[in-house]
Structure 1
Amino acid sequence: MMFSTISGSRLCALPLIMALGACVSFGGKAPASMLVLTADNVVAAGTARTAAAADALVIQIPQVPRKLDTNRVPVQIDASSIAYLKDAFWADKPARLMQMLVAETVSAKTGNLVLNEVDAGGKAVRYISGSLLEFGIDAETNEAVVTYDVVKIIRGNATEKRRFEARRAVTAIAPAPAGAALNAAANDVAGQIADWAG
């Protein structure tokens, strides 16, 4: 017989596996495209910076509310409800994308040696951290909104905190225009942070 070499336990498992396949996806259709942040200010290829790890500026990954702990684009419908923009997906979560954008912008605009925490090995004395509060679309105003509460920590000095925000009009609440507007607003905020970080 066709199933004579399959043990009884395996035969019992077959219906379960087939049923599981009907309700669980082991992958998914990849989106047609993914959104990224592109820095307006970039470090030129070949640029070298040398400094002691203690003199480096560490840019930490910001904290985010649950609505931003995803690679989807939130749309604020009104004061009490949000939705996610259909077919719009970031290549990474907003916190990580913003950390990389701020690091690149600060490095390009200030000339600082900018590291992440792993590279600094716990020796740095200057840190930029904080909370990315908004990173999405406001449907009531048709604007992309980026709001970042930034904390500047220098060991031995007073800690400073400042809120940065930028808004950009969106021509349509759709993936491409939303991504472009959020990229512009994020670059604005990153530039403000770089000017403040010094």
Structure 2
Amino acid sequence: MMKSHRRFKELGSIFVASCGAFLLSACVSLGSKAPISLLTLSSDAAVSPGASKIGMPKDALVILVPEVPRKLDTNRVPVQVDAGNIAYLKNSVWADKPAILFQQLIAETVSAKNGTLILSEVETSGKAEHFLSGQLVEFGIDSAAMEAIVIFDAVKISKGKPVEKRRFQVREAVAQIEPGDAGAALNSSANKIAAEIANWLAAN
């Protein structure tokens, strides 16, 4: 009887251990396959903690989500293989769509560098008079040139003033076409453009 009881406990322990291993394997990759890299953009010019800005809604700047071509309307990183072919970078995705990440980066950079009050259209209750919009034309890797490339056609709109459009472009070398290098180069390129946009807005 004692032997049967002991055997039952041993089987129970094995069952619990097996269940634990199964649950762990469901959450954590234990194989040799590399996990997917989750890429994002981070601003080099961050707003200081506790910083505040006060202004009228009509004086705030609304930064709209850029329009994008179809190849950028995805969480994946496009790689221009040649003039007529596009692939996507393996084992990597953006944390959000590039247009949204780029909008957030510009907002953070302009707010930090220029001290601008930036609000959404909802927050201005439809009273906004100053907008920054545009199209994110390129945001990926040129494999032939081994470069990250970011092209943004910015459009500045202020009530009572002519509309102004300007193209911003940055290319940055990548040592390898892989998630780490690609993500770092695109983040650096995006930050350079965001800083140029901040200077452009401050000069007007």
Where on the TM-score scale, by shorter chain, does this alignment land: which range?
0.7 to 0.9
**Structure 1 counterpart of 2:110, from 106, 110, 114:** 106
Q: Aligned partners of 2:125 and 2:69: how far apart in 1?
A: 28
Structure-to-structure mapping, 1:42-53, within 5 angstroms: 42-53=46-57
Alignment partner, residue 85 of structure 1: 89
Alignment partner, residue 161 of structure 2: 157
1:37 deviates by 0.2
1:119 deviates by 1.7
Alpha carbons 2:36, 2:93 under 8 Å: kept = no
Deviations 1:17-52 (A, max 9, x none): xxxxxxxxxxxx9x5430010100110000000001
Q: What is the aligned length?
A: 169
Is the radius of gyration larger for structure 1 or structure 2? 2
Deviations 1:128-183 (A, max 9, x none): 00000000000011000010000000011000000001111111000111000000
Amino acid of the structure 2 residue aligned with 1:86? K
3-state DSSP class of the match of 1:197? Answer: helix
Q: Aligned partners of 1:146 and 1:67: how far apart in 2?
A: 13
Identity of aligned residues (%): 56
1:197 deviates by 1.1
Alignment partner, residue 22 of structure 1: none
Structure 1: state its 5+ residue gaps.
1-28
**Structure 2 counterpart of 1:136, from 136, 140, 156:** 140
Q: Aligned partners of 2:37 and 2:77: how far apart in 1?
A: 14
Alignment partner, residue 16 of structure 1: none
Q: Aligned partners of 1:85 and 1:97: how far apart in 2?
A: 18
TM score, norm. by length of structure 2: 0.81
Q: Aligned partners of 1:120 and 1:62: how far apart in 2?
A: 19
Aligned-residue RMSD, C-alpha:
1.1
Alignment partner, residue 35 of structure 1: 39
Amino acid of the structure 2 residue aligned with 1:64? V
